[in-house]
Amino acid sequence: MPEVVRYDNLMQYLLRKNGNYLFKVPFRGGWAVLKNYQGSRSQFAYMKKSVTNILYYNQTSFMPKGRMKTELACMRLWREAGFRVFDIYDDVIVEGLKEGFYAMFEHVDRPKFIMYFADKSVPLEEKLEVWRRFLPVWHRRLSLAIERREARLIHENGDMKHVMIMPDGGFLFFDFEMAYRSPNRVPEFVAHEILAYLKSLCKTVGREQWPIFMKEAALHFPDKKLLRSAYEFQFEHPNFALRMLRLLDRLLRLKNRKYFSKYNVARRLRDIIDAA
């Protein structure tokens, strides 16, 4: 039988409001994270973004119930593939919340990549050791996604904000509300994730240290060809129309000239890999 819990004043446990409502709630003698996917957006806003995601980005629905189903399915898939995610308390009913629009997860209080790598009190060599340890884990998942043609193994919102460092030295991944859909485009989605992580890394560690981390990636990422695909899909896409659109995007949009733009990150990645 499912466990029924009730929180008379749920807002006192509000952890974060970012389209969803996240609550840190007392549970079984400790804490859990209660996630309500029915956020503050209007029904029209959810529908509009869903259409854009599905038709343009080849992603899953943005509707609250759809995001919940996607996240739970991805978490189970990642766990079965051997990657650490939050435990799911799927035997719990929360009174007062609409069934099918919320989920309960374990609460994990561990440093995120974005906090750890930006912390100036942590010696650079310690950070590099963590980064080197992360690279083969990252590579294994991306390779598995390509091998299985499984788009859900790609971290659609992958960056330094969504990885935690665990006490045993492993890594925990989270935030799976959205996922890519087409098995035929998995290599391209993989390249997109690589750029997203490296761009986020660049912003986190800063311009001075970023080349050091990039060189470590070029040396220790197990598949240099896969790593270099992040550049190739931006500048040498096999689809001529997309290649031309990205050329126009680079030329016409001022934000793409910034140091941290995806195009400049891709260029520097290519140069460092070729030099290595």
Tell me the pLDDT tens digit for each residue of 158-205: 999 999 999 999 999 999 999 999 999 999 999 999 999 999 999 999
- Taking only the tens place, the pLDDT of each residue in 46-80 is 899 899 889 888 999 999 999 999 999 999 999 99
Report the DSSP pairing between strands 163-165 and 3-5: unpaired
Based on the fold, state whether residues 33 and 62 are members of the same structural domain: yes
Q: How many structural domains does the chain have?
A: 2
Question: In this model, does residue 113 exceed pLDDT 80?
Answer: yes
pLDDT attached to residue 42: 81
Of the pLDDT bands very low, low, confident and very high (cuts 50, 70, 90), residue 44 is: confident
On average, the pLDDT of the chain sits at 95
Based on the fold, state whether residues 131 and 218 are members of the same structural domain: yes
Based on the fold, state whether residues 50 and 177 are members of the same structural domain: no
* Dist CA 233 CA 19 (whole Å): 31
In the chain, pLDDT over 70 holds for what percent of residues? 100
Cβ–Cβ < 8 Å for 186, 145: yes
H-type helices in 91-123, by residue range? 113-118
Domain limit, last residue, from 91, 106, 121? 106
Domain limit, last residue, from 66, 86, 106? 106
pLDDT attached to residue 56: 85
Token pair belonging to 232 = 């190739």
Based on the fold, state whether residues 245 and 131 are members of the same structural domain: yes
In the chain, pLDDT over 90 holds for what percent of residues? 88
Question: In this model, does residue 40 exceed pLDDT 80?
Answer: no
| Number of Cβ atoms within 10 Å of the Cβ of 234 | 23
Based on the fold, state whether residues 99 and 124 are members of the same structural domain: no
Based on the fold, state whether residues 93 and 194 are members of the same structural domain: no
Based on the fold, state whether residues 60 and 184 are members of the same structural domain: no
Q: What is the mean pLDDT of residues 11-39?
A: 94
Token pair belonging to 124 = 């650079």
* Dist CA 153 CA 127 (whole Å): 26
* Dist CA 213 CA 116 (whole Å): 14
pLDDT attached to residue 18: 82
pLDDT attached to residue 231: 97
Q: Domain residues for 30?
A: 3-106
Based on the fold, state whether residues 217 and 199 are members of the same structural domain: yes
pLDDT attached to residue 46: 87
| Furthest CA-CA distance within the chain | 61
118 burial (CB, 10 Å; 0-12 / 13-18 / 19+) is middle
The DSSP 8-state label assigned to residue 258 in this structure reads S
Of the pLDDT bands very low, low, confident and very high (cuts 50, 70, 90), residue 97 is: very high
Based on the fold, state whether residues 33 and 78 are members of the same structural domain: yes
Based on the fold, state whether residues 153 and 180 are members of the same structural domain: yes
pLDDT attached to residue 204: 96
Cβ–Cβ < 8 Å for 106, 86: yes
Domain limit, last residue, from 106, 128, 156? 106
The DSSP 8-state label assigned to residue 88 in this structure reads B
Based on the fold, state whether residues 127 and 143 are members of the same structural domain: yes
Question: In this model, does residue 41 exceed pLDDT 90?
Answer: no
pLDDT attached to residue 119: 97
Based on the fold, state whether residues 88 and 147 are members of the same structural domain: no
pLDDT attached to residue 19: 80
Question: In this model, does residue 12 exceed pLDDT 90?
Answer: yes
pLDDT attached to residue 163: 98
